[in-house]
Chain A
Amino acid sequence: MRYAMAIDTKKCVGCSDCVVACQIENNVPDGFCRDWVVEATSGTYPDLSMEMRSERCNHCTNAPCVRCCPTEASHIVEGGIVLVDPDQCIGCKACIASCPYDARYIHPEGHVDKCTFCIHKVEKGEDPACVEVCPTKCMYFGDTDDPNSDISKLLKKRKWKTLIPEAGTEPNIYYLI
């Protein structure tokens, strides 16, 4: 099983509902976020194009944060979800330096924090909070090891990209383009 997310940049309007839903669902401390929205504009007026995308931890298959963690606080669980055990984390920030996606931050309580794919919801068969709330339904969550899952079918049908593939981390967030 390999949990992944596909985000349709053609539909995302960058409203940040995914951000606020995550903050409330996961009690993210004030001023921090586990996911965020990027707006990338290219061209000159009036020949312009723009991509909006919701970004977060890529739950990499080859996760540098897990490899560099001195206490094994950063670890991978069933389904490939990368988690941080706050009790084991010593706040050394090695993982923050190693993450090409800038997906981690130091929680005011001293440990590292980041997206968990809302594992507490996923275990109950629900979607992560960001996916569940998205008004444009541009986010899809599922198992890419299952060829019959909606996400697998979508990745077969649509053109997609991942972010910074050259880092070799084998990210599991796909952007439909």
Chain B
Amino acid sequence: MANPIFDWATGAVLTEADLQQTFNKIPTYCEVCFWKCAGWAHLNEKGDIWKLTGHDNDPHCNGRLCPRGTGGVGMYYDDDRLKTPLIRTGKRGSQTFREATWDEAFDYIAEKMQKISEKYGPECIALFSHGSGGKHFGRMLKAFGSPNITAPSYAQCRGPREVAFFATYGEGIGSPERVDIRDTDCLVLIGSHIGENMHNGQVQEMSDAIDKDATIITVDPRFSTAASKSDYWLPIKPATDMALLLAWIHVIIKEEWYDKKYVEKYTFGFEELKSHVKDFTPEWAYGITTIKPNVIRKTAKEMANASPSVIVHPGRHVTWYGDDTQRLRAVSILNALLGSWGRRGGFYNPEKYKVAKLKLPKYPKPTKTWRDAFPGQYKLAGLALASGICDATIPTVERDCSFKGWFVNGTNLISTLPDQKNTLKAIQNLDLMVAIDTMPMEITGWADVVLPECTYLERYDNLRVSSHREPTVALRAPAAEPKYNSKPAWWMAKELAGRLGLDEYFPFETIEEELDWQLKQIGSSLKEMKKIGLKKYAREFDDLYPLENLEEYEFNTNTGKIELYSTSMEDEGYDPLPKYTAHEEPPDGFYRLIYGRAPMHTFSRTANNPNLTNLMDENSVWINPKVAKEWGLKNDQKIWLENQDGVISSFPIKVRVTERIRWDSIYMVHGFGHTNKNLSRAHGKGASDAELITKVHIDPEMGGTGMRGNFVTFHTEMPVQGGV
């Protein structure tokens, strides 16, 4: 080679082969959802991003991306992307901005941050994030003095299951879920619609389970894709899952189908549980759930037959009715009776590779946190509550300090948090609101400053250090220069930190240097990782199934046992054993609003992606034929939805008359009905379930926002907002 080419990150001389590798196929991990599959961005002859494929060695995807991952290129090519920093010129929410330089934007933000800090303390600034950028802004904010960093993936999604499993086993579930679906003999899904919820590795493993003839039991008021693959579909009356779970526990104990040795060796509180469930017979549950007693017994027997190779799946989005921690406690108890925790085909023990952390100066000690806004409440919340911080932004007489500044990165809070009016009220009380996103979203319209983030295909990010059967480390490297005037989050965070006098928390000039340093600590380098993308390591401990042969084991609970009877919940004044609570039912002429996922979209963030809108560009409202007949509704007819509080959908939605939904409920896919006109493909397409979720049932244990207690009725003509 006449003129040697140097790797711009490491300074090493690249060979011809290196160049081929480096410039035709660039490693990344996906950011379209938060399963984070490792893969490759392939370039075409012109050097432009062409297609994305999965990394063969990645246990998250096994070489196959899901439709969203495959269509991730659309995030990069979307013409509607945020292109340059914006500073608000009109009233907040009026969507009037002027274009600004990065310097102007940073100076504006830094000045406001300093003012808030001086007047109220740095803790009054919070970060909401969903995605990789959160790590960078989080470091900046912690250095500034605020611990209030939150993601809606906790209180609006999987929080209750983490709290419940922690109470029972002293460990949570995590992501990817530690469920051994690949090797299971019986998979029980309760409202968990794997296949429509396209978390890749899990969908792949369900397919493997089908291949191996595993028994699948699905509990859902909707004939979901998973239900259609199941041996047993239990079309449960919505909001009654707890009764079914208690009846299953009752049967398994009464018939002595539980794993006796396992229960005896590992669990605490069996006798209390036994007496607690003695009246929860299948006949009792039948009256509540509409599931026939013999079906309850038969499915319990199926689980017992498969035990311990059985998974009663903890689900992922579980914030439904406000007693969700308790419902997930029942799920965890059922698994314990079946002996599935720590066993092959049940719940495996994941391992994470230990990657050296940067030695940074100590973060300043905060004097207050979000918890101070909720004295005596949500005591089991393990992470900050997005909804809690939102609520604590609205000033009250009792509270001496409210949040004054928000950073919102990669999460469209208007669609994510329930009760939009409340969210908007909170925003109106802010002194500073910064939105960082790749796309204009409803939330960016409410910001004072909008910072355009480049997509994951145009940036480095922190390493993906994931917890799985085998530990892996994966690299995300840019496959293209950032388009327009967009920038990566790490750069924004470092620039802001610089203006706030916090340079010492970002000791490296570039993220490449930081990654290279970190990778060298674990015997690799940025150069190597750019070639291979992902490294898989052998497990340090041979304990994938630590309880397989009844090994000695001490659980991280008060008693050192699996707590069927939870002492930690009792200590905090919560029910130590799960109880059935009847939930409100839809009034006459109203139907329970059930929402969920489509395999080709992630929340509201993909609704404008050109590749994915090709697959699905609007949602529809699923209505049972009996109900449709009663209302005279036809397929594809456009109707407006109104909820129990008189909130009417901003846009009409197409009717889908289908037997796949119960007569007391309607179903719609979450993430549509965008009101931001800058989304040329998504604006006004379909309706938003989120805007119809105004009634929230808060989980007393951990503050999760139960969102399935909302009911809607139909309008065939456009109604007048505020009146029926």
Hey, which bits of chain A sit against chain B, CB under 8 A?
10-11, 13-17, 19-21, 23-25, 30-31, 33, 41, 43-46, 48-50, 52, 132-138
Contact = CB atoms under 8 A, between A and B. Distances in A.
Interface in B594-620: 599-600, 610-612, 614-616
Interface in B10-59: 50-51, 53-54
B407 interface: no
B624 interface: yes
A11 B210 contact: yes
A21 B66 CA distance: 9
Interface in B219-267: 223, 225, 228-229, 233, 235
A52 B610 CA distance: 24
A137 B662 contact: no
11 contacts: A13-B203, A15-B66, A15-B67, A17-B65, A19-B67, A24-B611, A25-B51, A44-B625, A45-B659, A50-B660, A135-B66
Interface stretch (B194-202, B450-458, B518-526): B194-202
B198 A48 contact: no
A15 B207 contact: no
Contact of B600 (A15, A46, A133): A15
Given A13-B196, A16-B599, A30 B225 contact: no
The 9 tightest CB contacts between A and B, nearest first, are A13-B195, A15-B599, A136-B207, A50-B228, A17-B67, A46-B235, A16-B615, A11-B207, A20-B71
A133 B52 CA distance: 10
B204 A133 contact: no
Interface in B170-217: 195-196, 198, 200, 203-204, 206-207, 210-211
B413 interface: no
Interface in B654-671: 658-663
B70 interface: yes
Contacts of A132: 53, 64
B233 A46 contact: yes
A48 B71 contact: no
A30 B64 contact: no
Nearest to B615: A16
A43 B659 contact: yes
B73 interface: yes
Contacts of B203: 13, 15, 135-136
A14 B195 CA distance: 8
Contact of B204 (A20, A21, A30, A137): A137
Contacts of B661: 45
A10 B65 contact: no
B136 to A, nearest CB: 30
B616 to A, nearest CB: 8
Given A48-B660, A133-B64, A135-B200, A23 B207 contact: no
Nearest to B662: A45
Contacts of A20: 67, 70-71, 600, 611-612, 614-615
A46 B195 CA distance: 20
Contacts of B658: 41
B225 A52 contact: yes
A120 to B, nearest CB: 13
A20 B203 CA distance: 18
B284 to A, nearest CB: 21
A44 B223 CA distance: 11
A23 to B, nearest CB: 7
Nearest to A18: B67
Contacts of A46: 223, 233, 235
A41 B210 CA distance: 20
B50 A24 contact: yes
Contacts of A45: 223, 235, 624, 659-663
B66 A17 contact: yes
A126 to B, nearest CB: 11
Contacts of B64: 17, 132-135, 137
Nearest to A21: B70
A30 B599 CA distance: 20
Contact of A135 (B196, B204, B225): B204
A45 B665 CA distance: 13
A11 B70 contact: no
B663 A133 contact: no
A24 B610 CA distance: 11
A33 B54 CA distance: 22
Contacts of B53: 132-133
Nearest to B199: A135
Contacts of B196: 13
Contacts of A134: 64
Nearest to B203: A135
A122 B662 CA distance: 45
Contacts of A44: 625, 659
A24 to B, nearest CB: 5
A137 B600 contact: no
Contacts of B211: 11
B662 A138 contact: no
Interface in B604-644: 610-612, 614-616, 624-625
A21 to B, nearest CB: 5
B659 A13 contact: no
A113 B624 CA distance: 38
A19 B613 CA distance: 12
Interface centre among A14, A17, A21, A30 (most CB of B within 10 A): A17
B223 A133 contact: no
A177 to B, nearest CB: 13
B660 A41 contact: yes
A135 B660 contact: no
Contacts of B206: 136
A73 B163 CA distance: 64
B204 A136 contact: yes
B65 A48 contact: no
A16 B600 contact: yes
Interface centre among A15, A21, A43, A137 (most CB of B within 10 A): A15
Contact of B610 (A16, A30, A138): A30
B600 A41 contact: no
Interface centre among B50, B70, B659 (most CB of A within 10 A): B70
Nearest to A48: B223
Interface in B55-86: 61, 64-67, 70-71, 73
A168 B579 CA distance: 61
A134 B616 CA distance: 18
Contacts of A138: 207
Contact of B210 (A10, A17, A23, A50): A10
A9 to B, nearest CB: 10
Interface string B523-558: 000000000000000000000000000000000000
A142 to B, nearest CB: 17
A31 B614 contact: yes
A13 B614 contact: no
A167 B500 CA distance: 73
Contacts of B200: 135
A76 to B, nearest CB: 28
A136 B61 CA distance: 11
Nearest to A19: B615
Interface centre among A19, A31, A48, A133 (most CB of B within 10 A): A133
Contact of B614 (A15, A17, A30): A30
A10 to B, nearest CB: 6
Nearest to B61: A135
Contacts of A31: 614
Contacts of A48: 223, 228, 233, 659-660
Interface centre among A16, A20, A45 (most CB of B within 10 A): A20
Nearest to B624: A45
Contacts of B198: 15, 135
A16 B54 CA distance: 16
B195 A15 contact: yes
B223 A24 contact: no
Interface centre among B54, B229, B616, B661 (most CB of A within 10 A): B229
A16 B50 CA distance: 19
Contacts of A14: 195, 225, 599
A33 B616 CA distance: 13
